[in-house]
Structure 1
Amino acid sequence: MALHQALQRAVRAEFPSVGQAAYLDTACIGIAPRTAVRAVRDFVDQVHQVPPDSGTAHHGRLNRARDAARPRVAELIGAQARDIALMESATHALNTAALALPLASGDVVAVPETEYIQMGVTWSQLESRGVKICRIPHEDGSITVDTIDRYLDFHVSALALSSVQWTTGFRADIASISELCRERGIMLLVDGAQHIGAVPFDVSRTPVDVLVSSGHKWLNSPFGTGFLYLSPGIRPRLNRPLHGFFAADPPAATWGEAFLRPDTDPFQEFTYTDDARAWETGGTANYPGGIGLSAAVDLILAHGIDEVWARVFSLTEHLLEGLLRTGVHIVTPRAVEHRSGIVTFTTGHNASDIALAERLSASGVAVSVRYSGGMGGIRVSCHWFNSPADVDRLLATVSGAPQARRGRRPAARGVRSPAQRSTASRHP
């Protein structure tokens, strides 16, 4: 469990408050590092002052500062800067992608039934356009390649899933799923909100058409941030649901120069870039968020995502080994290839899970209780700023709590049994 010396110094310098409590809830909200906070404060100080030249020049500087987030995000996921659109959240990115995909009446989008609520909300809205939703069942919280294979028939146009499930921490085999989709001509959209920033994800090695993520969780960015990755191959096929002029090519060297020309016509035909930036709102943006995201990602890049993941994995391994001795049921899979920064366990009853989470909170340990599709429990999130002492503090509280019979799981209303799933229609 020894922490690399450089990483240890970074944690102490960048996250000075982490020793005050055992914060094991990054899957809900991350902690912004001092570097990101300083960048946002510098922005606030800057906009508090009268610009040294003009508002137009000032606006240009802010745009360039925000734009710096694109190459940093791209480097983190093995992409190019032109593949990245900056978003306000994973929800913003997901909705933008859903409206952009070339889906027509009768097309089917396959979505696992344990997904985050927004995934269901987003795709369900397309049903008014005749798009159908195919719900893929889980196997004890796991979304396996074999199960997906059975549901990706010729009716399916797109598959949308999380690379890491938000309730169980199950990490899907995106490489194999990507291969399945490519073989069948199915568009693949991945929600990486519980993945990016903790576990490596390289789109150059694991091709996906679309990747969305929030910034305020594992990337430790301020709120109101996220990104949308659009592969070079998918962009020519996409619609643009929004048309902001900042996403178009200016009719002069810059938009500031275009505003100076008497012949500037608001109704002229503008040419939109073929970069992913064309799918941003194209208006005045969330500058402090983008600037904070840039700084937060830069910190991860400075130490390396592989080292961050090694730290996260070590902490989750320590947690799993300790939980095995407490008598709770561990929901998260033990297989290394399906691990993430999330470990979920249950006492066997929803009410006692909630009570134990409250007991943990009272003892200075922050966790969440999360369920979806009948799976879930007490969700623990270990990130690179956590320590073995944080995990030990949780284990001490869990060990001292009355436990339900090992192996029992909480029942969830409306969840189909495996037998019911096998007889259910694949498509609505």
Structure 2
Amino acid sequence: MSEECCPGDFASCVRREFPALDRKVYLDSACIGVAPVRAVRAVTDLVQGMQYCTAESGTEMHGRLNELRASARPLAARLIGAEASDIALVESATHGLKIALESLPLHAGDEVLLPDLEFIQLGVMCRQLEDRGITVRTVPHDPSGRIGVDAVRAELTPAVKVLALSSVQWTNGFRADLADLSELCRGRGVWLLVDAAQHVGALPFDVRRTPVDLLVCGGHKWLCSPFGTGFLYLAPAARPRLRRPLAGFFAARPPARTWGEAFLRPDLTPLRAYEFTDDAHAWETGGTGNYPGAVGLSAALSLFLELRPQRVEAHLRTLTDYLIEGLDRLGFTVVSPREARHRSGIVTFGTGRAAGDLHLLRALLTAGIAVGVRYTSGVGGVRVSCHLYNTLRDVDALLEAAEDWRRGPRRTTAPRARTRQLPRAAAQIVRQRALIDALDDDLMGIVTARGGVSRGIRRSRTEGALSRTDLAREREVVERFHDRLGQDGTRLALELLRMCKGDT
């Protein structure tokens, strides 16, 4: 979007950016977020530029793509209180964790510590260190599903070199005492690696107030980036002690102003002395990147910076307070912490039985309410993740559906099969209409973009002293639409030509 959101206009800005959610109850952002309009448009503009070869050459296009990708670094840095030089772009949280763990100067006999509530991907990454003679141990959670600082302290033997943990746990939304853990690690000389995938975007995070050595965040959850991407923060004091991963030439300094210019030099050879920057950029893969993902991430980050993390957190607190109060009233067991300092955007609750949780999940999905069920080490239940685009109306819909499930099937004269089919059909229609709305938004965006290109062509024709209209070209457009869509295509093409001519 060209216009920025006014911080005081939070609700209307969110409605503009997430129009499809007016008709859908989506409470599953801990799994995957919903892309804002600006992110979708950014990706669409980029791929359309590739489709129509808008650059003068492939070399120019590649340079432009690298510049667009790089624009995500300063935005990610601003969001967590860092510098752009501290940020490396990664393809996912998994990719970032792999780079982070391989960069740590670990040796046989060293130990890595992680909570037993961790997301499975962190466990998978850490277990692969065992091939190097490194031991991985877990910190057990307490009966309330928390990982306390004292519990971590009790496990910090001299062999422990790394504490790796999520700042917000994925099953119950527990937010760690990260400031105290940071102080504990600094005092013991232990590396602190944080997975912030369930934190950044929902809650403020400032590395100046809470120092960490390495932080990984995927973009597709609470940051609402539409493609697989994310970022890796490497603290300035940590980088000189980290191992450099294998990287391609885009992570090295070019022997000219740009790599495009370097390719023009006859003396360029593959086996040369390559100099890498001291910035976190050097920890990137250094090859052709996920450019659509990066521009989508940049656009999504711009939205969160405009709305401000503190405003998003306050909105989530209102929703989760209301949700917990409603769950208490209905008699469900709230698994998530209630203390403000341990709360997040995730509220997990249970029925008292794992089978009951799954049965309730199916009922909620049938009612058109998107939630999930997650467990780790015996902790979990029905996971609800409220985000900036959710409202109290969404929470009411969830509570009403949960109450209906708790009451059990109601007596009715209608056939039982029909009773089951009606909610499912209604929910399906809601989802289909939301998709139609999203497609309509795409169509309007494409028509607007087409008009801009058409006006550019007319300006070029005017500057070249050519006629304002190319009738042969217009006939070609009409015939192409007619061949695909028949007579309706003809009418659509004529209307597009009329709408997109514009003034010069």
Q: TM-score range by the shorter chain?
A: over 0.9
Structure 2 CA distance, aligned partners of 1:103 and 1:222? Answer: 35
* Whole-Å separation in 1 of the counterparts to 2:278 and 2:228: 25
Q: In 2, distance between residues paired with 1:198 and 1:389?
A: 19
Query: Which whole-Å deviations, capped at 9, do the CAs of 1:378-411 have from their partners, x for residues lacking one?
Result: 000000100000000111111222389xxxxxxx
Partner residue of 1:190?
194
**Map of 1:381-392 to 2, 5 A cutoff?**
381-392=385-396
Counterpart for residue 71 of structure 2 = 68
Kept after mapping to 2: 8 A contact 1:164/1:172: yes
Match of 1:318 in 2: 322
> Match for residue 107 of structure 2?
104
- Aligned ranges 1:4-403 → 2 under 5 Å: 6-139=9-142, 140-402=144-406
Gaps of 5+ in 2: 1-6, 409-504
- Give the Cα separation in 2 of the matches to 1:214 and 1:403: 39
2: CA distance between counterparts of 1:201 and 1:180?
19
Aligned residue for 1:414? none
Residue type matched to 1:273 in 2? T
- Superimposed CA distance per residue, residues 286-339 of structure 1 (whole angstroms, 9 cap, x where no aligned partner): 001000000000011011111011101111111011111111111101000000
For residues 50 and 323 of structure 1, what CA distance do their matches in structure 2 show? Answer: 54
The one-character-per-residue Cα deviations of 1:138-172 (angstroms, maximum 9, x if unpaired) are: 11321111111111121110000000000000000
* Contact preservation (8 Å) 2:163, 2:191: yes
Distance 1:113 1:386 in 2: 31
Distance in 2 between the 1:37 and 1:51 partners? 19
SS in 2 for 1:227: strand
Could you tell me how far apart the structure 2 residues matched to 1:52 and 1:28 are? Answer: 37
Structure 1: which 4+ aligned runs deviate by more than 3 Å? Answer: none
CA distance in 1, matches of 2:106, 2:332: 44
Q: TM-score, normalised by structure 2?
A: 0.78
Counterpart of 2:134 in structure 1: which amino acid?
A: V
Provide the C-alpha distance between the structure 2 equivalents of 1:292 and 1:381, rounded to a whole number of angstroms. 22
Provide the rounded CA distance (Å) in 2 between the counterparts of 1:403 and 1:194. Answer: 33
TM-score of the two chains, using structure 1 as the length reference: 0.92
- Partner of 2:365, secondary structure, is helix
**Residues of 2 paired with 1:223 and 1:255: CA distance?**
27
Separation of aligned partners in 1, 2:288 and 2:100 = 20
2:199 partner letter:
H
Letter in 2 for 1:171: R
Q: Identity of paired residues, percent?
A: 57
Say whether the 8 Å CA contact 1:347–1:403 is kept in structure 2: no
Q: Which of these two proteins has the greater Rg computed from alpha carbons?
A: 2
CA distance in 1, matches of 2:149, 2:64: 46
Residue 44 of structure 2 aligns with an amino acid whose one-letter code is: R
1:105-149 Cα deviation digits (max 9, x unpaired): 000000111100001100000001000011110113211111111
C-alpha separation between the residues in 1 aligned to 2:108 and 2:246? 21
Q: Whole-Å Cα distance in 2 between the matches of residues 127 and 206 of structure 1? A: 29
**Distance change >3 Å, CA 127–CA 57, structure 1 → 2:** same
Task: Tell me which amino acid in the other structure corresponds to 2:386.
Answer: C
CA distance in 2, matches of 1:7, 1:60: 36
Cα distance in 2 between the residues matched to 1:99 and 1:324 = 45
Matched residues in 2 for 1:387 and 1:334: separation?
Answer: 20
Contiguous gaps of at least 5 residues in structure 1: 405-428
Corresponding position of 1:410? none
C-alpha displacement at 1:21, in angstroms?
Answer: 1.6
CA contact (8 A) 2:227 2:292 kept: no
How much has 1:5 moved relative to structure 2?
Answer: 5.6
Q: Which moved more, 1:78-87 or 1:145-154?
A: 145-154
Q: RMSD of the alignment, in Å?
A: 1.2
Cα distance between partner residues in 2 of 1:384 and 1:197: 9
Q: Which residue of 2 aligns with 1:424?
A: none
Deviations 1:69-127 (A, max 9, x none): 00000000000001000111100000110111101100000011110000110000000
Name the aligned partner's letter for residue 80 of structure 2: I
**Larger RCO (CA under 8 A, 6+ residues apart):** 1
> 1:240 deviation in Å?
2.1
Determine if contact 1:169/1:344 at 8 Å carries over to the other structure: yes
Distance (whole Å) between structure 2 residues aligned to residue 372 and residue 29 of structure 1: 19
Contact 1:36 1:293 in 2 (8 A): yes
CA distance in 1, matches of 2:300, 2:407: 39
Q: Secondary structure at the match of 2:192?
A: strand
> What is the alpha-carbon distance in structure 1 between the residues aligned to residue 24 and residue 8 of structure 2?
22
